[in-house]
Structures are given as structure tokens and as C-alpha cells.
């Protein structure tokens, strides 16, 4: 409505990150977003965003992305790009990514500690034009304004767990019970990290 941001969240995002500090510019990532689980805090708006005017989740229930690290621009900062698919249209999107840290955490089942899992965090951000993906609904408001802006800021918050740790602790089965696909490919020297 021309005066503020509307912040939306996708509540079901799963993916795979292959990252090794010794060869960080060979890092790749991929993921899937359940577009049906969009949340903005306003149910009527959420339903409209799920409709054919916007994400058309009936025909395109998932948003997909896969990308690569391109350049290291600081101790923990990278330029990356992702091939983002929305409504069946794929465009390459540049992103700025920052490594937020790593930590080992225990995995508990009841009162039993099944072992440690290494977690790693990243944040990536960028901007897209929604019309590039066929998301072009618009309505005018008095005085020449519009309801929805064309440019959309994206933020991807990533917490990934090392695949070997998921397997060693049995946590991989725990996550699969919730329908999370943690199937990995060949492990790199530093290990794959999945979420």
C-alpha cells in the first residue's frame, strides 16, 4: 500500500549444502520450499498470495533453488548465485551470503544423548522483481498508488547439520519422520551439510 513492507515467511524449507572451507568456492546448495505454507500473519492475504494471482500453489506447490558460491569477498562473506524457480519460471538470482558460525550440539532422545552434531549457519540476501517469475497481479489505489511493489527482498536463514553426524546419531531418522528429505550424495572431505 505504498507505505510499509509486508514480511512473509515460508515455514517449510529443506535443502542440501556441500561446503568445505578449504575449497569454499566449489560449494553448492539446493533446496525446496513448500509454497503452500506461506505465512504473513493475515489469513486472507495468505490465501490471496497462494492463489493464481501470485504463487498459484495449486499448480506450483513448490519453489525450488540450486546455486553455487562465486567469490569470497571477506573472511566470512561470499557472492553466490541461485537458479530460483517460481511458478515454473527459472531465473538466476545474485545473493550476498555470510557465514554466521559453527557449533556442536547434542542430539537427545528422551534422556539419552545420542552424540554430537555439528551445525553451521549462513544468511543470504538478495532482491528479485516478481514480474520476472510471472507474479504480476496488481491493483491500484487512490492517487496513483499500487497495492504491491515490484521488487521483493529475499532473506534465507540457513542452519545446516553435517550429514555424517545426522547418520551417526540416528537423528536422520528423526527428521525423516517429519517428512524431511535428507538424502545426500557423495561426501566431500569436510562433509556434506544438510537441512
The reply to whether 178 falls in a domain is yes
The reply to whether 56 falls in a domain is yes
Closest by CA to 91, choosing from 71, 64, 69, is: 64
- Show Cβ contacts of residue 34 under 8 Å, excluding neighbours closer than 6 positions: 10, 11, 12, 13, 61, 62
Predicted pLDDT at 46: 96
The reply to whether 146 falls in a domain is yes
CATH number at residue 115: 2.40.128.110
The reply to whether 2 falls in a domain is no
* Average pLDDT for the chain: 89
Predicted pLDDT at 149: 87
The reply to whether 3 falls in a domain is no
Which whole number is the average pLDDT over 71-94? 98
Count the domains in the chain: 1
Predicted pLDDT at 193: 39
Closest by CA to 116, choosing from 193, 171, 187, 191, is: 171
Residue 88: domain span: 9-194
- Chain centroid offset of residue 69 CA: 15
- In the chain, pLDDT over 70 holds for what percent of residues? 90
The reply to whether 38 falls in a domain is yes
Residue 119 burial (10 A CB sphere; 0-12, 13-18, 19+): middle
Instruction: Classify residue 74 by its DSSP letter.
Output: S
CA distances to 21, 30, 62, 111, 122 from 24, in Å: 5, 16, 28, 37, 13
CB atoms within 10 A of CB 52: 12
- Residue predicted with more confidence, 180 or 193: 180
**CA distance linking residue 128 with residue 101, whole number of Å:** 27
Predicted pLDDT at 18: 95
The reply to whether 26 falls in a domain is yes
Q: pLDDT tens, 42-60?
A: 999 999 999 999 999 999 9
Q: pLDDT tens, 141-190?
A: 888 888 888 999 999 999 999 999 999 999 998 888 766 655 443 333 33
Predicted pLDDT at 180: 63
Residue 2 has pLDDT above 80, yes or no: no
- Show Cβ contacts of residue 16 under 8 Å, excluding neighbours closer than 6 positions: 29, 30, 31, 184, 185, 192, 193, 194, 195
The reply to whether 78 falls in a domain is yes
Full-model pTM = 0.85
Amino acid at each position: 500500500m505504498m507505505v510499509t513492507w509486508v514480511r512473509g515467511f515460508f515455514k517449510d524449507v529443506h535443502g542440501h549444502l556441500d561446503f568445505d572451507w578449504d575449497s569454499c568456492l566449489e560449494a553448492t546448495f539446493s533446496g525446496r520450499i513448500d509454497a503452500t505454507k506461506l505465512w504473513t500473519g493475515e489469513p486472507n492475504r495468505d490465501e490471496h498470495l497462494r492463489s493464481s494471482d501470485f504463487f498459484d500453489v495449486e499448480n506450483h506447490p513448490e519453489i525450488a533453488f540450486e546455486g553455487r558460491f562465486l567469490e569470497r569477498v571477506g573472511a566470512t562473506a561470499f557472492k553466490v548465485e541461485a537458479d530460483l524457480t517460481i511458478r515454473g519460471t527459472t531465473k538466476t538470482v545474485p545473493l550476498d551470503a555470510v557465514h554466521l558460525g559453527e557449533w556442536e550440539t547434542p542430539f537427545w532422545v528422551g534422556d539419552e544423548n545420542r552424540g554430537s552434531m555439528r551445525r553451521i549457519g549462513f544468511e543470504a540476501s538478495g532482491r528479485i522483481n516478481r514480474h520476472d517469475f510471472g507474479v504480476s497481479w496488481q491493483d491500484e489505489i487512490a492517487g496513483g498508488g499500487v497495492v504491491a511493489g515490484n521488487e521483493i527482498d529475499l532473506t534465507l536463514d540457513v542452519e545446516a547439520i553435517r550429514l555424517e553426524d545426522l547418520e551417526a546419531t540416528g537423528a536422520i531418522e528423526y527428521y525423516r519422520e517429519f517428512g524431511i528429505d535428507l538424502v545426500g550424495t557423495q561426501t566431500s572431505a569436510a562433509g556434506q551439510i544438510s537441512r
